[in-house]
Amino acid sequence: MARLTAISGFGAKSAAIFLLELHGRRVLFDLGCALEAGPRPDLSAIGVVDAVLLSHAHIDHAGGLDRLDEVGAPLVYMTQRTAMALPHAISETQIRRLPERGHAQVAGLDLHVGRAGHAPGGIWFHLPTPAGGFVYSGDFSLESRSLPFDPFPAAASMVVDASYGDRDDLLATQATRIALAAAQGAVLPCPDAGRGPDMVMELRAQGLDVHACARIVAECATIMPARDLPPVVDMHTAHPRHVIVATGPNADHGLCAQLHTREGFRFIFSSHVPETSPAAAMIATGRAKWMGWNVHPRARDLIALLDLPELRQIMPAFVDPATAPTLCRTLGPKCITTPVMAV
């Protein structure tokens, strides 16, 4: 029987590191680092792996790639767009490209991938297993304007992004709320290779004149004609009355880190806020507010997976079950409550 072990990413919003042992092969799904300051995940129990499969380039999924030597220096499989956005440079000789949709062979295992709707180049993974197939989703979303989501294939076992737990607001509702709150000017922080273009498009649809940092404009340029790109602003040209989409999700880097030290700029954060981040301090002092912007599945999206006839067990990842009692109760006996499952 194949086995999936959550090294990190089970029971909390923590680094994504999952080990699959199948047909004598050992494969890691993601190799992230924690969003909070503190010790890095312990990799000592993993041993040598045959490959790392990277779902996308965000730090909690790819921030541990500088530690590849600790798991045997394996090849890392990812899409081209993920490779372009990595938080750590790794040798090109260690990278193997995957399609964003389709099939591939990895370490002798058959792999099926599809677009996850969360980040440019982000994908989910499916492998056939003796017990009916396995899906690992990393982060995913069904609501993005610019990032398509491909439905999961049939599988008996799944590890799925449950970051939002019981949260169930629609993105359309959230966008309307944020547009109202930002109408007189606000900085809207977002991660690199993430929700930036969606924020630009959604807030424009709400009637706002949206500006953006150079990084976000470059991301928009991959999906918009030049005539539709938002105006570029920097620390010298940004004005408190502007609606600004900028990188630095917790005001920890990019234009957001530069503007958070200047008077007059209001911030609306929408990502996970680490306790040790500048964003947490700004929210605590009332200088900023937090308002949700969906980039992960809502509770209804996870509950809908129960309708898949083949599904036998599901591990909700990146969430503390205590904060998601309704979701866990609804998933019922199919909900995995330990970090190890036979797949």
Cross-strand bridge partners of residue 147: none
Best CA proximity match to 335, nearest among 190, 157, 207: 157
Rounded to the nearest 10°, the torsion over CA 221, 223, 227, 230 is -60
Distance separating alpha carbons of residues 185 and 264, to the nearest angstrom: 10
199-214 residue pLDDT tens: 999 999 999 999 999 9
Which residue is listed with tokens 């008996």?
Answer: 156
- Residue 1, pLDDT > 80, answer no
Q: What is the pLDDT of residue 326?
A: 96
Hey, what are 85's tokens? Answer: 């956005």
Q: What is the mean pLDDT of the chain?
A: 96
Looking at the chain, the whole-number percentage of residues with pLDDT higher than 90 is: 96
H/E stretch holding 56 reads none
**What share of the chain in percent tops pLDDT 70?**
100
What pLDDT band is residue 266 in, cutting at 50, 70 and 90?
A: very high
Q: Indicate whether 23 pLDDT > 90.
A: yes
Nearest CA to 121 out of 141, 99, 142 is that of 99
Residues ≥6 apart with Cβ < 8 Å to 22: 2, 3, 109, 127, 129, 134, 343
Is residue 41 predicted with pLDDT exceeding 90?
Answer: yes
Q: Average the pLDDT over 16-38 and give the result.
A: 94
Strands 340-342 vs 288-290: parallel, antiparallel or unpaired: unpaired
Contact 310, 133 (CB under 8 A): yes
For 108, counting Cβ atoms within 10 Å of its Cβ (0-12 exposed, 13-18 middle, 19+ buried), the class is exposed
Q: Band the pLDDT of 39: cuts 50, 70, 90.
A: confident
* Strands lying side by side in the sheet with 109-115: 102-106, 109-115, 123-127, 134-136, 157-161, 313-317
d(CA 343, CA 3): 5
Which pLDDT value is given to residue 87? 85
Q: What pLDDT digit, counting tens, does each position of 117-133 carry?
A: 999 999 999 999 999 99
* DSSP state letter for 238: -
pLDDT for res 61: 97
**What is the chain's alpha carbon radius of gyration, rounded to the nearest angstrom?**
20
Average pLDDT over residues 252-257: 94
Taking residues 329-340, what's their average pLDDT?
96
Whole-model pTM: value is 0.96
